[in-house]
Amino acid sequence: MSLQPHILVVEDDREVSTLVSRFLRANGMRVSLASDGRAMDKELRDARIDLIVLDVMLPAEDGLSICRRLRASSMMPIIMLTAKAEDIDRIVGLEMGADDYLAKPFNPRELLARIRSVLRRTSVHGAEVAPQSGVFNFAGWRLDRHARQLFNPDGAHVALTGAEFDLLLVLCERPRRVLRREQLIDLTQGRAAHPFERSVDILVSRLRQKMEQNPKVPVLFQTIRSGGYMFSPEVTVA
C-alpha cells in the first residue's frame, strides 16, 4: 500500500487545480481532482482519500454546504479555500467543521505546509512519537491521545474533527490554567498558522455543543474575561 497521502482537490478553476496538483505531486503526494460536489462524491466512493482541499465557491453546491454534508457522516480532514476578503467564509467554514482554511490567492508552499500540519494533527500520516501517557480522564470523560478518540461518561464514542481534538488535548494537558487565545493557536496550529482568533472561539463553541449538558452555561470550558479560556475539571492521566 502506498505511503503517499491521497489528497482530493475540489476546485472548479482549472488553472488553480492544475497548479496545486502539480505542486503536491512534486512533493510526494497523490492527487485527485473534482470540479464540483458530485465529482467529489464519486472520488470518495472510488478511492481512499486522506484529506480534502475544498473551495468555497463551486458551481451548484457550494463548499460550505459540502463541508456541512461531509461532517454529518465523516471526520475527513478538510482545508477550505476562501476568497481573500471574505472573513465570514472562514468563520462559517470553521463552524461547519473545517480543520483549517487558506485565503486566495495563496502560495502552494503554504498549502503544502497546512496539508502536512493537518495530516500530522489527525494522525493520518504523522511520524511523531506519542508520549507514554495517553489517556486523560475528567468528569467521567475519557480522551485517548494515541487513538485520537473521545468517550463520554456512558462510554460512547464522540466524534471530533482533528482541530477539535487538538484543542481538547491541549486543554487536558493544561487543566485549570488560563490560556489566552494566542497561546491556544500557537499550541495547536504553530506559529506559521497566521492566527485567526475567532477560530479558537468557534472550536470551543463546537466542543461545548458536543460535551456540555447546557452549552449556554458551560461547566467544562470556562471563558475568562479579557483572558481566554480555562478547562475547569480535574484531569488524571493514565
Amino acid 158: pLDDT: 96
Tell me whether residue 104 is exposed, middle or buried, using C-beta atoms within 10 angstroms of its C-beta: 0 to 12, 13 to 18, 19 or more: middle
Q: Which residues contact 217 (CB under 8 A, 6 or more apart)?
A: none
DSSP 183-225: HHHHHHH-GGG---HHHHHHHHHHHHHHH-SSTTS-SSEEEET
Of 73, 94, 121, which marks where a domain is finished? Answer: 121
Q: What is the mean pLDDT of residues 54-76?
A: 89
Q: How confident is the model at residue 84 (pLDDT cuts 50, 70, 90)?
A: low
DSSP E strands, 56-177 = 78-82, 100-103, 135-138, 141-144, 149-151, 157-158
Provide the domain limits for residue 210. Answer: 135-237
Q: What is the mean pLDDT of the chain?
A: 86
Amino acid 151: pLDDT: 97
Of 75, 97, 121, which marks where a domain is finished? Answer: 121
Q: Percentage of the chain with pLDDT > 70?
A: 88
Separation CA 189–CA 11 (nearest Å): 25
Q: What is the mean pLDDT of residues 106-127?
A: 78
Residue 145 pLDDT greater than 80, yes or no: yes
Asked whether residue 64 is assigned to any structural domain, the reply reads yes
Q: Report the number of distinct structural domains present in the chain.
A: 2
Residue 160 pLDDT greater than 70, yes or no: yes
Residue 124 pLDDT greater than 50, yes or no: no
Strands 78-82 and 51-55: parallel
Residue 131 pLDDT greater than 50, yes or no: no
Are residues 169 and 66 part of one domain? no
What CATH number has the domain bearing residue 224?
1.10.10.10
Q: How confident is the model at residue 103 (pLDDT cuts 50, 70, 90)?
A: confident
Are residues 104 and 193 part of one domain? no
Compute CA 29 distance to the chain's CA centroid, rounded to the nearest angstrom. 19
Residue 179: φ, ψ to 5°: -120, 125
Asked whether residue 97 is assigned to any structural domain, the reply reads yes
Q: Which residue has cell 464540483?
A: 36
Are residues 86 and 23 part of one domain? yes
pTM over 0.85, yes/no: no
Could you give the C-alpha distances from 172 to 32, 190, 235, in angstroms and in order?
A: 37, 18, 7
Of 121, 144, 160, which marks where a domain is finished? Answer: 121
- Torsion on CA atoms 197, 159, 48, 36, rounded to nearest 10: -60
Q: Which of 91-100, 147-156, 203-212 has the lowest mean pLDDT?
A: 91-100
Residue 191 pLDDT greater than 50, yes or no: no
Q: What is the mean pLDDT of residues 86-100?
A: 76
Residue 130 pLDDT greater than 50, yes or no: no
Q: What is the mean pLDDT of residues 136-157?
A: 94
Q: What does the pLDDT look like over 15-64, one tens digit per residue? A: 999 999 999 999 999 999 999 999 999 999 888 899 999 999 999 899 99
Are residues 115 and 192 part of one domain? no
Higher pLDDT, 183 or 220: 220
Would you call 92 helix, strand, or coil by DSSP? helix
Residue 139 pLDDT greater than 70, yes or no: yes
Amino acid 192: pLDDT: 45
Amino acid 1: pLDDT: 37
Are residues 60 and 117 part of one domain? yes
Q: Percentage of the chain with pLDDT > 90?
A: 54
